[in-house]
Amino acid sequence: MALTDTRVAELKRLAESERERRDYPDGFPVLPPLPAARYVDRDFARLEHDGVFRRSWLMVAHGDQLRQPGDFLLVEQLPEPVLLVRTADGAIKAHYNTCKHRGAELVDAPCGNAGRRLTCPYHSWVYDLDGRLVGYPDAADFKALDDRDVDLTAVRCETWGPLVFINLDPDAAPLAESLEPVWSELGEMAGLDGTLHLAGVTVREVPVNWKLPVDANIETYHVNTVHRTSAAKVLDQGSTGIQLLPNGHSRMLISVREGVPLTGKMPFPPLFHEVGDLPDSGTFSYHLFPNFSIVFVGKGFLFLVTNWPIDESMSRYQVHWCSSLSSQDDDGRAANEMFVRFNQEVLFEDLSVLPGLHRSLRSGGITDVNLSYQERRIYHVHEAIDRAIGIELVPGELRVPSVLGPFVEGAS
């Protein structure tokens, strides 16, 4: 359900009232220390891969990246070779990029247009865009192929307006259910394919565990330090409102400083109306478990951050910049480029400290991470990671005690 006016007003008040808070909130649990090994242990990273990344809905692309029938895009964010394809009827499908003859990779370019067919580069088996095997040379030399599953192996793929998600778990719950309550709250997203344009994609490999940039994106305790000459001039770290949501998701509003105009007049026509004026009241964002943040810069420009493990000490930082103005025309492109440049600069200021954190966590110089009330979203993600892995599978010394359940919105 969209946020009501009363709810919008309450969320703004909750953020502002943080400015007045002097004491640790009554009744809120002390957050137990997080074992540093959760960021550097190879076996734990493997558990995360199997339990979290192979079983969650992951935002991997924007529809503009494969707009025409036959367009394809390799999902380079995961070790599994997954190929997204725009089919003849305009849908997006995901398959393993794996020929069912002997396993050659069907495409090796990161993106392109396959025409009407995908042809394997090894022995020329041919598949249609829906993944069906439609031909292979010397057919008479194969027996019983008709009885076997020789179509490309499908991967679950669903869209939310322009956003493309995949899930490697064939038995996962539907996307809508997994994204609740954000799916309903931000219901307008579903109608924005074609109007929320992709203004660019930024990719950086960073020598840190994937959770370190996630942590930085979901707390504002560092804003006055790391972003003191940029975002902190406009945003008031002390008035950050946070709500923990079911499924490991969360919501955050960091209010604009009193008397400071946020961005002046925004050039972007508004697309989101059902979240009231939250996007104009500061930086409003959602984090969707496990690795995806939607950050509003006003109602017509937003960026989508995803962080991906490469191994326990290396990750891929990816940003999809989205705008109500198309970069196809000059004015739109100029406005988009300006906003991308500024926001990217702020975002990547975090990278000045994160590699140092990772080295420290690996060194034994710090064995436990100590979180404040302001950093409770981080703990919320860690609890969700253990649930996704299966608590009994997490080695005892790495587990995080579950303490936040009663503080999740909607919990009775």
| Residues binding ligand FES (CB under 6 A) | 99, 101-104, 120, 122-125
Q: How far is the CB of 246 from ligand FES (least distance, A)?
A: 43
Q: Are 339 and 301 in contact (CB under 8 A)?
A: yes
Task: Report how far residue 168's alpha carbon sits from residue 176's, in angstroms, rounded to the nearest whole number.
Answer: 16
- Contact partner, 28, from Fe ion, ligand FES, none, Cβ < 5-8 Å per class: none
Query: Nearest 5°: CA angle at 46, between 43 and 51?
Result: 125
74 versus 346: smaller Cβ distance to ligand FES: 74
Residues 6+ apart with CB under 8 A from 310: 205, 316
CB of 95 to Fe ion, least distance (A): 37
Tell me the residue nearest to Fe ion as measured from the CB.
350
Return the structure tokens found at 70.
Answer: 């036959």
Q: Minimum distance between the CB of residue 254 and Fe ion, rounded to whole angstroms?
A: 11
Nearer CB in complex with ligand FES: 143/341: 143
Partner whose binding site includes residue 122, from ligand FES, Fe ion, none (CB under 5 to 8 Å by kind): ligand FES
**Cβ(290)–Cβ(17) below 8 Å:** no
* CB-based contact 82:131 (threshold 8 Å): no
In the complex, what is the shortest distance from the CB of residue 157 to ligand FES, in angstroms, rounded to a whole number? 22
Q: Which is nearer to Fe ion, 98 or 285 (CB)?
A: 285
What is the rounded distance in angstroms from the CA atom of residue 394 to the CA atom of residue 45?
11
Query: Of Fe ion, ligand FES, none, which one sits near residue 359, judging by CB under 5 to 8 A according to partner kind?
Result: none
Indicate the residue among 22 and 143 with the shorter CB distance to ligand FES.
143
| Sequence-ordered list of residues with C-beta below 8 angstroms from that of 62, at least 6 positions apart, any chain | 162, 163, 164, 198, 201, 304, 320, 322
Tell me how far, at minimum, the Cβ of 153 lies from ligand FES, in Å. 13
**Residue 11 C-beta: closest distance to ligand FES, Å:** 53
Helix (H, G, I), strand (E, B) or coil at 263: coil
From the list Fe ion, ligand FES, none, partner contacted by residue 350 (C-beta under 5 to 8 A by kind): Fe ion
CB 95 → ligand FES: shortest distance, Å? 13
Nearer to Fe ion, 97 or 343 (CB): 343
Q: How far is the CB of 135 from ligand FES (least distance, A)?
A: 11
Residue 335 contacts which entry, Fe ion, ligand FES, none (Cβ below 5-8 A, type-dependent) = none
Q: Which does 370 bind (CB under 5 to 8 A by kind): ligand FES, Fe ion, none?
A: none
Instruction: Count Cβ atoms below 10 Å from residue 4 Cβ, excluding itself.
Output: 11
Residue 81 or residue 187: which is nearer to ligand FES going by CB?
81
Pairwise CA distance, residues 135 & 184, whole Å: 43
Distance of CA 339 to the CA centre of its chain: 20
Q: Interface residues with Fe ion (CB under 5 A)?
A: 216, 350
Nearest-CA neighbor of 223 among 207, 240, 210, 206?
240
Between 103 and 356, CB nearer to ligand FES: 103
3-state secondary structure of 216: helix
Q: Using CA atoms, how far apart are residues 178 and 40, in angstroms rounded to an integer?
A: 28
| Residue 120 binding: pick among Fe ion, ligand FES, none (C-beta 5-8 Å cut-off by kind) | ligand FES
Which of 128, 215 has the CB closer to ligand FES?
Answer: 128
